[in-house]
Chain A
Amino acid sequence: MKLILDISFSSFATGIHEWLVGAIHSEGLVKVIEMVIAGLALLVFLVPLCFFLGYMERKVAAFMQVRLGPNRVGPKGSLQIVADTVKLLFKEGLTPNASDKFLFNLAPVIVVVTSMLVMAPIAFAKNFQIWDISIGVLYVSSISSIAVIGILMAGWSSNNKYSLLGAMRSGAQIVSYELSVGLSLISIVILAGSLRMSDIVMSQENGWWIFKGHIPVLISFVIFLIASTAEINRAPFDLAEAEQELTAGFHTEYSGMKFAMFLLAEYINLFVVSAIAATLFLGGWMPFHIGHWHTFNFVMDYIPSSIWFLGKTFAIIFIIMQFRWTFPRLRVDQLLTLEWKYLLPISMVNVILVTVMAIMGWHF
């Protein structure tokens, strides 16, 4: 007696698949059509998601800053971001005369596309995943590092000194923090024994890794949060666009829809990073269970898996937003000090601890 929503996601997908196979009789064509459907579904999911994240960020920021936030357009200001999008659509997409026009126009596309690609292996609900690739975690960390090329491209092709400085900062930052992100992901891979996202989620059936893995996993969770905040260029690590120093950093020269694409990519990245953290450390769509409290566990099972997943993801998104609205920005050399002197050594030691723990079977 599962809730309808839970059944619908997976059965909906299999239903479509069976219908297509019955109607077309061509395995290859069915795959192509399914890919198109998945892509469209992702786009349809992403646009409202980004609207919601934009609205959420404004409201979270406002409440933390003893303000009300947007409250004029739509009920409680919820349509403000729609109005902003319409404004950006109608704005002139300016391309500076002295810029490299091809790279300038390509850069936002690359940034958005890479952030969307990372969505592929994420398990949104039970049995509901676009692509359950066997090297899921590796895929995520490798694809997400392509985004830096888009940022460098944007900064370089704008032919603006602020943009160039921002892009170079971003390059140094993302390349360094990639290491810590990778190492903290590895600690979970070691424990779960698989790179596949669905396997990692299934391995947390009897408890989330953050509870099962004692302090080492907690440390790697914190490191993952810090390093991934840096990797998606959010405050306090938003050096690439440091408003007070470089006006807008790598997207100084962008306007209109091209600027909106960077914004879109920022929010998708925020969601992706939080989703990965939720999947790896907080059990993805797994409900919260406590040992032998069967009644409690039974009640928890009633909550649909997609709600579990989104709830955990948005909790992490909230924490990352709180970082942004609480802390001052780091300086560029302090950023690298933090990574190379603190995060990296700690995560290296941590990986060894996790390995020992996994071999000895000290986790639950």
Chain B
Amino acid sequence: MKEYFGTIFRSVRSLLKGMKLTGYYFTHPKEIQTEEYPDNRATLTMFDRFKGEVTMPHDENNEHRCTGCQACEIACPNGTIKIITKQELQPDGKKKKAIDTFVYHLELCTMCNLCVVACPSDAIVMGQSFEHSVYDKKQLKKVLNLPGSKIMEGVE
């Protein structure tokens, strides 16, 4: 009999403890943790190491740092990167390897960062964009070097 009422007492107390906690949070709206969906694109700052997609930065003269060495293509586990090279005539008459197109398949990319680490000339970096959904799969195949761009001076 004592045990019977003891059980009831203990159960009710444990249930009230839980209700006290939910009651606390109900009455303290300051504890709310919901974060808004990042609609504030203009002022949004991501973590600087955030791995969104592979990008190739170009400077104001439309020049990039990619030598076309294909280290990233080898480093990529999924075949995400495909580099098509061409022979470019240098001013001094010598021929030199350069990239024609840097094809990046976003749909295959796992954002593992191995290509960025492998790149000897820091030509590619991880971008900050996080919204990749498109209506057509073809749009996920991207060419990273801008049209008409060429390699920066002094990058070997």
Chain B residue numbers with a CB within 8 Å of A342 are 8
Q: Is A211 interfacial (CB 8 A cutoff)?
A: no
Q: Are A327 and B18 closer than 8 Å at their CB atoms?
A: yes
Q: Are B23 and A63 closer than 8 Å at their CB atoms?
A: no
Q: Which of A60, A67, A322, A325 contacts B34 (CB 8 A)?
A: A67
Q: Is the interface of B mostly helix, strand, loop or mixed?
A: helix
Q: Are B15 and A63 closer than 8 Å at their CB atoms?
A: no
Q: Are B25 and A65 closer than 8 Å at their CB atoms?
A: yes
A219-259 residues at the B interface, CB under 8 angstroms? none
B contact residues, total (Cβ < 8 Å): 14
Q: Is A37 interfacial (CB 8 A cutoff)?
A: no
CA distance A144 to B88 in the complex (A): 86
Q: Is B33 interfacial (CB 8 A cutoff)?
A: yes
CA distance A63 to B34 in the complex (A): 10
Q: Is A68 interfacial (CB 8 A cutoff)?
A: yes
Q: Is B32 interfacial (CB 8 A cutoff)?
A: yes
* Chain B: minimal CB distance from A239 (Å): 18
Q: Are B26 and A326 closer than 8 Å at their CB atoms?
A: no
A289-327 residues at the B interface, CB under 8 angstroms? 322-323, 325-327
What mask results when residues 88 to 114 of chain B are scored 1 for a CB within 8 Å of chain A, else 0? Answer: 000000000000000000000000000
A contact residues, total (Cβ < 8 Å): 13
* Chain A: minimal CB distance from B48 (Å): 28
* Chain A: minimal CB distance from B29 (Å): 6
What mask results when residues 44 to 84 of chain A are scored 1 for a CB within 8 Å of chain B, else 0? Answer: 00000000000000001001111110000000000000000
Q: Which of A64, A68, A323 contacts B25 (CB 8 A)?
A: A64
* Chain B: minimal CB distance from A199 (Å): 33
Closest Cβ neighbor of A222 among chain B residues: B12
Q: Which of B8, B18, B33 contacts A326 (CB 8 A)?
A: B18
Q: Are B22 and A325 closer than 8 Å at their CB atoms?
A: yes
Q: Chain B: residues with CB nearer than 8 A to chain A? A: 8, 15, 18-19, 21-23, 25-26, 29, 31-34
- 6 residue pairs of the A-B complex, CB under 8 angstroms, read A63-B26, A63-B32, A65-B25, A66-B31, A68-B34, A326-B21
